Amino acid sequence: MESRGLTLFNTPIGPCGIAWRESRITGVEIGDADESETGYRLRQRFPDSESSTPPAFVTQAIEKIETLLEGGNPDFSTVPLALQSLPDLNRQVYEIILELKAGETTTYGAIARRLGDVHLSQAVGYALGKNPFPIIVPCHRVLGSNGKVGGFSAAGGIKTKLALLNIERAGASREADLFGGLPLQARPQAD
């Protein structure tokens, strides 16, 4: 019998979830104000999966996500992802952005140039909009030209993208965050 399942977990950006099949992660849902909505979206994407205790490789991925969201810089390149069924271009884009470390950013155009054709910038944006593994495949680190934020298809949209970028920058900087407030480390923590 094939091993598949999904699990939800809480993070500083809201409830997140991971789905898996066999020994690969098949999808991630990130940050939403409501755990039931996150679970609903994950079950819609993976209707053959039920909530269950995650295997070790999923637990390790969750720990890496939590580390990142606490300002750390985990290595996601070893997380087993179900990439084989994805279009070639999407897979190539995801492999490129997996090379980025926390706090590093690139642009749609830079990725397109690495793929060999700057005219692929729009296709890169489309691939990022279809990213089934947000946070693990850090599409939030891809910006538009001239540092414009660009889009973000995960729950919360651009607000979530900015929150992720601020968390990552907070690990390396005491500057004011992108929302214009105090540095994240200097903010009072909720009990």
Pairing of strands 24-29, 106-107: unpaired
- Catalytic position from the list 28, 65, 100, 139: 139
Pairing of strands 142-143, 106-107: parallel
Give the whole-angstrom CA distance, residue 111 versus residue 124.
7
Tokens of 10: 């809480």
Active site includes 139?
yes
Place of tokens 């996150």: 38
Q: Please answer whether residues 19 and 8 qualify as being in contact, where contact means their C-beta atoms are separated by less than 8 angstroms.
A: no
Question: CB-based contacts of 17: which residues, under 8 Å, 6+ apart?
Answer: 6, 7, 8, 9, 28, 29, 38, 39, 41, 42
Distances (CA, A) of 87 to 22, 47, 94: 20, 22, 11
Active site members: 139
